[in-house]
Amino acid sequence: MPSLRLPHLHKLLDPEIRAKNVQWLRWRAREHYYALAHPDMPDPVFVIGCSRSGTTITFETLAAGGHFLHFDYELPQFWNGLYGPNNNGWISEAAGPEQADPEHRQRALAYFYARLGAGPVLDKTCINTLRVGYLHKLFPQARFVFIHRDGRDNISSMIDGWRLGRSDGGFGLEKFFGPSPVPVAINDGEFSEWHFFLPPGWRDYNQASLEEVCAFQWLSANRLALDAARDVPAAQWVQVRYEDIFEHPVEMFRSVFERLDLPFDARMQAHCANLSGRPTSIVKGAPKRQKWKESNPRAIERILPTIAPLMCELGYAIDD
């Protein structure tokens, strides 16, 4: 009689794998409960902004108030699972109201409920900057905290991110989507995959210079957010500047908390007063204004005419 072969038996016996499987089953059970009982889940608050624009410190400060349920990581795989490159023909990671299937709302709220419980959720996922219209259609009462940064510094930081990665890994997208369906040879072949996110029209930049690609990403993220914001009620749209984190952190976050109908007590005031020394770049050194002049001055000067109109629209002077 041939011997019994159980090649995966070690996985069944591995305590860590068994714990993950049990946790997954619990989540699935709670998702099914949500689908049946529909416990109260208010529409989320979304922190959005181009990659490297200060979304993390903004999210962490809002989370520190203790008023929200939240994950301590971004959820691009979840949101792309609802609609993204692997199920839209690699168009992009953007989504508009026309892609907002009511089932996506239920799946998102069930996902949050199963893992976080019932209550207001704070989500920070940078690709959602490309999805404001989609999210507003799914969650009509959702509020958005949109942070933007001087395009020169933001793009310079993205250039560094493409080249250096981050302290806990890189920003490449192949690990999420697999190989690109078309050849990518950005910056004369230095990069064979996209990093950070895929905006609409990304194929047109597959042979572009790195600074052109990062400028395209910055323009796309901010333009899509601002255009979609026209359909979001003003009371649900909170727009802030990255630079104010260093120059006026208490005033900035007091205003954000008030706009979100949250108390801004003495503890949060003290927390925000220390923010100027708190943000630490996960890419290259401590953040500061006009860092582009030290890191990538020639590259930024080459793309400045391209980004100047949107810079001015966002209130940045291009001659400083």
Averaged pLDDT score across all residues of the chain: 92
Structural domains in the chain, sorted by start: 44-313 (3.40.50.300)
CA 86 – CA 291 distance, rounded (Å): 36
Q: What is the dihedral of CA 204, 128, 300, 171, to 10 degrees?
A: -80
CA 47 – CA 123 distance, rounded (Å): 6
Q: What percent of the chain has pLDDT over 90?
A: 78
Burial environment of residue 131 by CB neighbours within 10 A (0 to 12, 13 to 18, 19 or more): buried
The stretch 120-133 carries a mean pLDDT of 98
Give the pLDDT confidence of 31-62 residue by residue, as tens digits. 998 988 888 899 999 999 999 999 999 999 99
Question: Do 100 and 138 meet the contact criterion of CB atoms below 8 Å apart?
Answer: yes
| More confident: 283 or 177 | 177
Whole-model pTM over 0.85: yes
